[in-house]
């Protein structure tokens, strides 16, 4: 049975470290998701591609204010399977001068947050 699995989710700072504590004004915040597709899903994608039907994945990153349950950020990725069976995707910028911080995400004075991730397959 074709499956798509989220193997890992992490919050990455400007040093490339998976961390849970951030300075809201200085530290970068990038969300990383490691996704694994089953071999039969990729084979299905190749068969469908030969018939001009795209098979890909959708991933959703959310940052949620833990005090109010309000969604602070909701970012959706949609892509065909380009990177093989196991790959990672990320949201946010943790490597450049103008990196993503919680302050730039409008997360206020950095309330406690929760991160949610979801991945699904589409044919279309």
The pTM (predicted TM-score) of the whole model is 0.72
Q: What phi and psi, each to the nearest 5 degrees, are found at residue 25? A: -100, -25
pLDDT in the model for residue 91: 80
Q: Token pair for residue 53?
A: 């039907």
**Dihedral sign, CA of 83, 45, 80, 73?**
negative
pLDDT in the model for residue 103: 59
Structure-token match 């040093």, residue found:
15
Quote the number of domains for the chain: 1
DSSP state of 14: T
Q: What is the pLDDT of residues 38-79, one digit of tens each?
A: 888 777 655 555 555 567 888 888 878 778 888 877 888 888
> Which residue segment(s) compose the domain that 81 sits in?
4-123
Q: What is the pLDDT of residues 18-30, one digit of tens each?
A: 887 777 777 777 8
* CATH number where 80 lies: 2.60.40
87 pLDDT band, cuts 50/70/90, is confident
CA distances from 110 to 50, 84, 97, 121 (A): 48, 36, 20, 33
């Amino acid at each position: 049975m074709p499956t798509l699995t989220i193997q890992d989710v992490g919050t990455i700072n400007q040093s490339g470290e998976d961390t849970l504590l951030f300075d809201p004004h200085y530290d970068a915040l990038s969300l990383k998701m490691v996704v694994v597709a089953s071999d039969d899903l990729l084979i299905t994608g190749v068969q469908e591609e030969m018939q001009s039907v795209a098979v890909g994945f959708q991933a959703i990153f959310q940052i949620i204010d833990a005090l109010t349950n309000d969604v602070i950020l909701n970012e959706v990725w949609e892509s065909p399977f380009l990177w093989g069976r196991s790959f990672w995707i990320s949201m946010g910028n943790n490597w450049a001068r103008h990196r993503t911080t919680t302050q730039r995400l409008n997360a206020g004075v950095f309330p406690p947050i929760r991160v949610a991730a979801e991945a699904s397959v589409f044919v279309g």
